[in-house]
Amino acid sequence: MQPQNNLPETARLRKLQQQPAHAERLLHALVMRANLVPEGAHQIRNFASMPKELRIIASLAATTNGHIWSCWTHEGHTWLFTGELSLAQSRARGVPVLVVDVYNEAGSKGSGLWAYCEGIWQSCADCSPSSN
């Protein structure tokens, strides 16, 4: 049984999960601070300006799974990041954790969990749960 003091944290995380604008800011911060795109890349904010293949993926991710998306371009290359805030992973680690899928024009490039640990974004493979 979980201690009562976890209830406020769970409520806070659930509220964050239900606020797409906050999750979008987390995804933007992840992309920028974890250097997932090259320096000088620009965010594509206009859905219609995205390559057609990535518009389809972003639309499906948002409507089917409720995921947020962030699209970036640099020197003719484009990357799409879709994801969501994981309540279970965030609670287990005590920090925000995003489940992120990455795409380019050719399709899926990968996916993973990213946690905001000790002031920096880290792949969860590099960030051990706080419960251990």
10-residue mean pLDDT profile of the chain (132 residues): values are 53 57 89 94 94 93 87 96 91 91 89 90 70 37
Beginning with the edge strand found earlier in the chain, give each strand of the sheet holding 120-123 in spatial order.
42-44, 68-74, 77-85, 97-104, 107-117, 120-123
Reduce the DSSP state of residue 113 to 3 states and report it. strand
Q: What is the pLDDT of residue 64?
A: 82
Please report which helix (H) or strand (E) contains residue 32, including its range. helix 20-33
Q: What is the pLDDT of residue 2?
A: 45
Reduce the DSSP state of residue 119 to 3 states and report it. coil
Q: What is the pLDDT of residue 76?
A: 94
For the chain, the structural domain boundaries read: 6-121
**pTM of the full structure:** 0.79
Whole-number Å distance between alpha carbons of 72 and 81: 8
Q: What is the pLDDT of residue 124?
A: 86
Tell me which DSSP letter residue 47 carries.
G
Q: What is the pLDDT of residue 1?
A: 41
Q: What is the pLDDT of residue 117?
A: 85
Q: Are 118 and 36 in contact (CB under 8 A)?
A: no
Q: What is the pLDDT of residue 106?
A: 86
